[in-house]
Structure 1
C-alpha cells in the first residue's frame, strides 16, 4: 500500500529499539517460527474474512514462509504502528503494501518488491481524471500513506482530509464529504468490482510505486531469506496463481 510512515513515529521507534537486536535468520530458524506483521484492513492485499486473516499478501507471505521451512505467527495492527514495532523487534518482518521511499529506507531495510502499483484518483462521477483536475478540490487519503504525501505536493488543492483507514477515506467520498479519494490502483479496482452499484469511478494515476516487505534496518540475513523465498514462489507458479486469484492479473514488477 504504498503509504508513507510518519517520520517522527519511525524515529521514536528507532530510539526505543536502539538497544535491542533483531533476530537473525539463523535464530529465527532455530525457533521454528517467524513473526510477521500486517494491517488486516487493506483488501484485497491483507484483510479479515470474519475472524480469518487473508488476502494476496497474507497468502503470499504464508507460501514464502513455507519455503523457508518455518511456521508463521501473524500480528495485525494499525498501519502507523507497523514500522515502529519492527524497529522495536516486536516482529521479524512487515508485509503491508509499503511503498519503497527514500524516507522509509532510512529507517528499515526493504526486500525486493513483491508487486508494483500506484495511486489513482477516484471520484463519484468520473469527472476528476488527472492530478491537475484536483485543483480547488478536497481529497481524502489514508493517514501516513504515500497517497497523502503525494497529494499534499499538488498545488491549488482546497483541502486534504486524512483518515486512519483507507476504507474511511473511501467512505468520505461516498458520503459527499470530499470530492476525490486517492488510493492504490488494485484497492480501487477491488472496491469497484466488489460494489458495482457504488458511485466510484477511477481516473488516472497520481504516481507509480514499488511495494516491498520490510525488515529491521541492517538485518541482511532475514532480507536475503525473504528475497530467496519470494524468488522461489515466483518461479514455481505460486505467485502467479495468488496474484490472479486476488487481482485477476500478474502484478509482479516488470524486470
Structure 2
C-alpha cells in the first residue's frame, strides 16, 4: 500500500507555507557552506521515534537514518549522526553542532530567519480511512456518519471543527489512532481519521479506502548561512525521488 501511494504521499497538496519555504531554500545561488567530498556531514537525528530513527543494539537505524546516509553517499561524504531531541533540534543547527537536521521537522515559518527547509521527503498528514469509499465532499458525504480518532490528537481537533458544520456527524474518541482504525475495521465506526504514519504501520490496510484531509510534510533543515549545502541536499532529494530510492525507503520502513 505504501508503494502505490508514495507519489501521493510526497506531493499531496503542499500548503503555501511549504512552497514559500522551499522557494527560500532553492533560490540561493551562493556556494557558501557546501560540503566537499571527504568532508564529514554532521546530521542531527532524533532516535526516539521509530521507525523514523532509533538506537538498537548500540546502532542507529530507521527511515531517517537511511535517508541521511543516502545523502552522504550521494555527496561523497561520511555521515556523523548526532543525537538531538525535540527541544534541541534547531539549537544544534544554529550553534553549528550539526550541518543539517533530519528529524521529523515540519516547516515552521517562524524559524525561517535562521534556517532553510528542503522540499519534503515525507508527508504525515491526516487520512480519512474507510472500508468502502473515498470522499469528494466531506460536508455532504459525512452527514450522519461516525468518525473514530485518537483523543487529544490533531484528528480530535479536526473532527471538532467538522462537527460544527457537518450535520449528524458523530465523534468517537479512542486512546490510540490504531484503535480508531480497529473500530472502523470492526464496524464500530464508519470511518477513522488518523495520521499517515499510523495508517502505514497498521497491520493490514490492504482493503481500506483513503482520502487525504491535510498535509504535514517533513523537510530537512539547514542553517540560513549555508545556502550551498541547502542546494546540495535539495539536489540529492531530487535524485532520490527520481530514481525511486526514496520510495523504496518508505516502503521498507513503513
Distance in 1 between residues matched to 2:150 and 2:122, nearest whole Å: 29
Structure 2: runs of 5 or more not aligned: 1-30, 130-137, 164-174, 181-191, 205-209
Return the offset for 1:181: 9.9
1:58 is aligned to 65
* TM-score, with structure 1 as normaliser: 0.58
2:194 and 2:110 map into 1 onto residues whose CA distance is 21
TM-score (structure 2 length as normaliser):
0.58
Aligned residue-pair number: 200
Number of the residue aligned with 2:52: 45
- Rounded to whole Å, the distance in 1 between the matches of 2:150 and 2:247 is 38
- Look up the match of 1:228: 235
Contact 2:126–2:193 (8 Å) recurs in 1 = no
Query: Per residue, is there more strand in 1 or in 2?
Result: 1
Determine if contact 1:36/1:74 at 8 Å carries over to the other structure: yes
Cα distance, 1:30–1:230 mapped onto 2, change above 3 Å:
closer
Larger Rg: 2
1:55-104 alpha-carbon deviations (Å, 9 max, x no partner) = 22211221111110100000123122101211111101001121223234
Counterpart in the other structure of 1:92 = 99
1:29 alignment counterpart: 36
Q: How is 1:123-134 mapped onto 2 (pairs within 5 angstroms)?
A: none
3-state SS of the aligned residue for 1:78?
Answer: coil
Q: Is contact 2:107–2:217 with CA below 8 Å preserved after alignment? A: yes
Deviations 1:131-183 (A, max 9, x none): x999xx99335xxxxx59x77x9699xxxxxxxxxxx9879x9xxxxxx9965
RMSD (CA atoms)? 4.6
